[in-house]
Amino acid sequence: MQIIKTVSEMRAFINGVRAQNKTVGLVPTMGYFHQGHLSLMENAKRQCDVVVTSIYVNPLQFGPKEDLASYPRDLQRDTEMAKTVGVDAIFTPEDKEMYPGGFDTTVVMGETLTNKLCGSRRPGHFTGVATVVIKLFNIAQPDRAYFGQKDAQQVLVINRMVQDLNINVEVVSVPIVRENDGLAMSSRNIYLTPAQRRVAPILYQSLLQAKEEVEKGQRDATFIYSIVADKIKSEPLAEVDYVELYSYPDLKSIGTLKEKALLAVAVKFGGARLIDNIILEA
């Protein structure tokens, strides 16, 4: 497995792969791997000849009061984990390589998909995401790129960007990987105290409770919200950031569940902000 730090080295690697008529799968990450990341790599390995994983904590997608400086990093650990699933190369550039002096171009997404959920709570976040992703697409030239469904809004935004800008890459969404107690795997779970970790599965429990009501015939959006919000608020260590329900995949507001919908939550446990979601079928 190769560790690649510069754009020129990455392009040389990709040119060598293309010369052999091999397909490329890209797994963009910010590192500090868990099984959710590995599932993306495993899917890429099954579908592509060569798998490239990027590890880059992108400063453009962090707000001024967010956890850029403290975001967990461990390249040696990540490298060993990536080896276990057969990743061929890790691209791990420095900030000065991704955003050299004078960098003055960003990708600004329209508000159709970004003025809600995490987009409304984290101004500029999806501008940062779209900018770094399109740079990675241009650098690695993948046939397919793999993203986790835990970041459902991000997947939809990237899909829209690819469609609108005619980018020649297939975006593959991979199901959420969960701990045994249902907590969605996330690099930010490391921020949880033992007490917070014990109660954090309430996110998924609340979503499942709502799903059960929908399966019984419940269709009222306000009632579905209340099921989730009331469940989470019953836990003193949890602070609800949002509970939102939209049609899926276009993220339009709905009052009555008539079609496939995304039910998503963001919850703070002290300094840790966790997200989760579930797809509801009407």
pLDDT tens digits in sequence order for the chain, 282 residues long: 999 999 999 999 999 999 999 999 999 999 999 999 999 999 999 999 999 999 999 999 999 989 999 999 999 999 999 999 999 999 999 999 999 998 999 999 999 999 999 999 999 999 999 999 999 999 999 999 999 999 999 999 999 999 999 999 999 999 999 999 999 999 999 999 999 999 999 999 999 999 999 999 999 999 999 999 999 999 999 999 999 999 999 999 999 999 999 999 999 999 999 999 999 998
- Comma-separated ranges of CATH 3.30.1300.10 domains in the chain: 187-280
Best CA proximity match to 206, nearest among 278, 119, 122, 123: 278
- Choosing among 1.50.40.10, 3.40.50.620, 3.90.1150.10, 3.40.50.970, the CATH entry for 2-174 is 3.40.50.620
Give the sheet arrangement for strand 272-280, strand by strand: 239-247, 261-269, 272-280
| CA-to-CA separations, 85 to 9, 55, 240, 258, in angstroms, rounded | 23, 16, 36, 40
Q: Give me the amino acid identity at 160.
A: R
Best CA proximity match to 117, nearest among 259, 9, 228, 276: 276
Provide the whole-model pTM.
Answer: 0.96
**Choice among 14, 24, 29, 37 that is catalytic:** 37
- Comma-separated ranges of CATH 3.40.50.620 domains in the chain: 2-174
Q: Is 125 a catalytic residue?
A: no
Fold observed for domain 187-280? Pantoate--beta-alanine Ligase; Chain: A,domain 2 (3.30.1300)
